[in-house]
Amino acid sequence: MDRPLDVLNQAKGKRVVVCLKNKKEVSGTLKAVDIHLNVWLEDASVTDDEKTTKYGKMLVRGDTIVFASPTD
Amino acid sequence: MDRPLDVLNQAKGKRVVVCLKNKKEVSGTLKAVDIHLNVWLEDASVTDDEKTTKYGKMLVRGDTIVFASPTD
Amino acid sequence: MDRPLDVLNQAKGKRVVVCLKNKKEVSGTLKAVDIHLNVWLEDASVTDDEKTTKYGKMLVRGDTIVFASPTD
Amino acid sequence: MDRPLDVLNQAKGKRVVVCLKNKKEVSGTLKAVDIHLNVWLEDASVTDDEKTTKYGKMLVRGDTIVFASPTD
Amino acid sequence: MDRPLDVLNQAKGKRVVVCLKNKKEVSGTLKAVDIHLNVWLEDASVTDDEKTTKYGKMLVRGDTIVFASPTD
Amino acid sequence: MDRPLDVLNQAKGKRVVVCLKNKKEVSGTLKAVDIHLNVWLEDASVTDDEKTTKYGKMLVRGDTIVFASPTD
Amino acid sequence: MDRPLDVLNQAKGKRVVVCLKNKKEVSGTLKAVDIHLNVWLEDASVTDDEKTTKYGKMLVRGDTIVFASPTD
């Protein structure tokens, strides 16, 4: 049976875009995800309005996520 | 006995519109839903005020949902 | 013994009005409710300020509800 | 031993005023309360700023309550 | 071993001031408290900006409390 | 193994500063802390913008805390 | 299997930057992290708009974190 979290489980190693509750948008290469929707991204960047900041590896806390979508 | 989540369980494969707490509206073809109300949408699009952005597959976190309604 | 959720359990098949935390008001015919206060409405309509939008069946997430009242 | 919820358990059949997180104030005759602080009111009315709206029976979700006080 | 909730357990029968998340301040004589920090106050009064409203007995929901302090 | 809450467990009897979600800052002598991060402070004072209010003993609810730091 | 929290487990002893829900940014040397994402930082500093405040050791409550990223 399909489960919603499989959207992310199947996207490991691919680029994903994550929309956050604080209106920021994070994108990166998905390395891991858990049942709380915490995600581990590599080569992450955060966009806030027009400004983009680059990070290396990043842990995004699951309860701040509105939606996530693979972009590859 | 009818259960509220059956509204979505019966809508798999159909278009649904999802109203979010951050005032955005997401629509897409429902692929899966779990008891937390996390939903997997295909051919998703997000409308924010007048602007609509298209995505492919998308996981919407259940606790950001206000209501969901099948549109087919 | 009376339980608060019986207000809704006894209102199945009747019209109810539901006041939401995002200031919207939803009304519809109550089909089902669960212990999380998730509700299934038929012939639902959502009022936001002066504007009313009609939907068919709708799942309203329980944790967005402020109060609910049968109107029949 | 006294328990805080006894304030409401002892007020069944009496008028109570309930202050909500969305700044509205609800008053009504208390019919039932549960451990989540969900309350069942009869002859409820909701005051928002200067405007009062009358309802019949009402379920108020516990997690929207700031405080409750018997007025009889 | 001292536990934080003992601040209130030791203050039963004394006046306490309770600062709420909605910026209101409640004071009253503490009658009971539970592990959720729900409190039962007697002779309660609520201060909002400059305005003070008097109540009799009151149940304050624990998750709306920022801090509480005995004043006797 | 070090645990984050040991920052506070090791600070008992010392002054700590606690930053709250409502932008207030509380400082006091730490008497006790539990796993919910509820803290018991003695000789507490609360700073809001430029204004400081003094209290005696105080219970700060854990879920209102952003961070806490010993200052001795 | 990789788990999201390993981003932080592997960063012990290194500098991390933590973005908070209240828009503040905390940086420090990571000493410990638990499953709630509570973190213990040494030589912490907090940046709010243009202003940076220095602290010694600090406990950051996990549920205030949006994302965390090692910077070494």
Please give the domain boundaries of chain D with CATH numbers for all domains.
6-70 (2.30.30.100)
Residue A50: the pLDDT is 86
Residue C17: the pLDDT is 98
Q: Which residue in the block uniquely carries the two structure tokens 């729900």?
A: E38
For residue G40, give the nearest of F7, F21, F71 by CB distance.
F7
Q: Residues of chain E whose C-beta is under 8 A from some C-beta in F?
A: 1-8, 17, 19, 21, 23, 37, 62-63, 65-71
Q: Inter-chain contact B69–C63, Cβ cutoff 8 Å?
A: no
**Alpha carbon C72 to its chain's center:** 13
Q: Inter-chain contact A34–G62, Cβ cutoff 8 Å?
A: no
Q: Residue D66's closest chain E neighbor by CA? A: E61
For residue A5, give the nearest of B38, B44, B57 by CB distance.
B38
Q: Inter-chain contact F5–G39, Cβ cutoff 8 Å?
A: no
Residue B49: the pLDDT is 85
> Which of the four pLDDT bands, split at 50, 70 and 90, describes residue F34?
very high
Q: Residues of chain B whose C-beta is under 8 A from some C-beta in A?
A: 20, 22, 24, 26, 31-34, 38-40, 44, 46, 55-61, 63-64
For residue C70, give the nearest of D20, D56, D63 by CB distance.
D56
- Residues (pLDDT < 70) of chain A are none
Q: Residue E24's closest chain D neighbor by CA? A: D66
CA distance G48 to A54: 19
Of A33, A37, A29, A34, the C-alpha closest to A13 is: A29
pLDDT in tens, B2-36: 899 999 999 999 999 999 999 999 999 999 999 99
Q: How far from C34 is each of B39, C15, D13, D30, E28, CA to CA, in Å? A: 19, 17, 26, 22, 37
What is the average pLDDT value for chain E, to the nearest integer?
A: 96
Neighbours of D12 (CB within 10 A): 15
Q: Is the pLDDT of residue E1 over 80?
A: no
Strands (E), chain G: 15-20, 25-33, 39-48, 51-54, 58-60, 65-70
Residues of G in contact with F19 (CB under 8 A): 46
Evaluate whether chains D and B are touching (3 or more beta carbon pairs less than 8 Å apart): no
Q: Is the pLDDT of residue E13 over 80?
A: yes
Work out the end-to-end distance of chain D between its first and last CA atoms, rounded to an integer number of angstroms: 24
Residue E6: the pLDDT is 96
Which residues on adjacent β-strands are paired with residue F29? F15, F42
Tokens of C33: 């409710």
Q: How far from F23 is each of C61, F16, F50, G63, CA to CA, in Å? A: 30, 16, 12, 16
Q: Name the minimum distance, in Å, from the CA of C45 to any CA of chain D.
A: 19
Q: Name the minimum distance, in Å, from the CA of A43 to any CA of chain G.
A: 11
For residue B7, give the nearest of C20, C57, C64 by CB distance.
C57
Of E22, E19, E62, E6, the C-alpha closest to E38 is: E62
- Residues (pLDDT < 50) of chain D are none
Across B41-45, C55-59, G48-52, least confident range: G48-52
CA distance A42 to A47: 15
CA distance G46 to G48: 7
Residues of E in contact with F66 (CB under 8 A): none
For residue G57, give the nearest of F3, F21, F70 by CB distance.
F70
Residue D1: the pLDDT is 77
Q: Neighbours of B (≥3 Cβ pairs closer than 8 A)?
A: A, C
Residues of G in contact with F66 (CB under 8 A): 20, 22, 24, 60-61, 64
Neighbours of A9 (CB within 10 A): 13
Interacting residues of D37 by C-beta distance below 8 A, sequence separation 6+: D5, D8, D62, D63, D65, D68, E38, E59, E61
∠ CA B15-B19-B21, rounded to 5°: 150
CA distance F72 to F12: 11
Q: Inter-chain contact E66–F38, Cβ cutoff 8 Å?
A: no
Q: Is the pLDDT of residue E72 over 90?
A: no
Q: Inter-chain contact F69–G61, Cβ cutoff 8 Å?
A: no
Listed in sequence order, the DSSP H helices in A6-57 are: 6-9
Q: Inter-chain contact F40–E6, Cβ cutoff 8 Å?
A: yes
Percent over 90 (pLDDT), chain G: 90
Residue D72: the pLDDT is 77
Per-residue pLDDT of chain C (72 residues; tens, 9 = 90+): 789 999 999 999 999 999 999 999 999 999 999 999 999 999 999 999 889 999 999 999 999 999 999 997
Span E21-38, average pLDDT: 96
Number of inter-chain CB pairs under 8 A, B vs C:
62
Neighbours of E5 (CB within 10 A): 19
Of C23, D17, D64, the C-alpha closest to E46 is: D17
Q: Is the pLDDT of residue B1 over 90?
A: no
Q: Which residue in the block uniquely carries the two structure tokens 């709630």?
A: G36
Q: What is the ipTM for the molecules in this complex?
A: 0.94
Residues of F in contact with G34 (CB under 8 A): 3-5
pLDDT in tens, G1-30: 789 999 999 999 999 999 999 999 999 999
Of G27, G32, G57, the C-alpha closest to F10 is: G57
What are phi and psi for residue A62, nearest 5 degrees? Answer: -60, -35
Work out the end-to-end distance of chain B between its first and last CA atoms, rounded to an integer number of angstroms: 24
> Which of the four pLDDT bands, split at 50, 70 and 90, describes residue F61?
very high
State the Cα torsion B48-B53-B59-B60 to the nearest 10°: 10
What are phi and psi for residue A4, nearest 5 degrees? Answer: -50, -40
Q: Inter-chain contact G69–A63, Cβ cutoff 8 Å?
A: no
Number of inter-chain CB pairs under 8 A, E vs F:
61
CA distance C31 to C35: 14
**Alpha carbon F15 to its chain's center:** 8
Of C57, A34, C66, the C-alpha closest to B5 is: C57
Of E40, E33, E25, the C-alpha closest to E5 is: E33
Q: Is the pLDDT of residue B40 over 80?
A: yes
Q: Residue G65's closest chain A neighbor by CA? A: A61
Percent over 90 (pLDDT), chain E: 90
Span E23-48, average pLDDT: 97
Residues of C in contact with D31 (CB under 8 A): 2
State the Cα torsion G5-G7-G8-G13 to the nearest 10°: 150
**Alpha carbon F2 to its chain's center:** 20
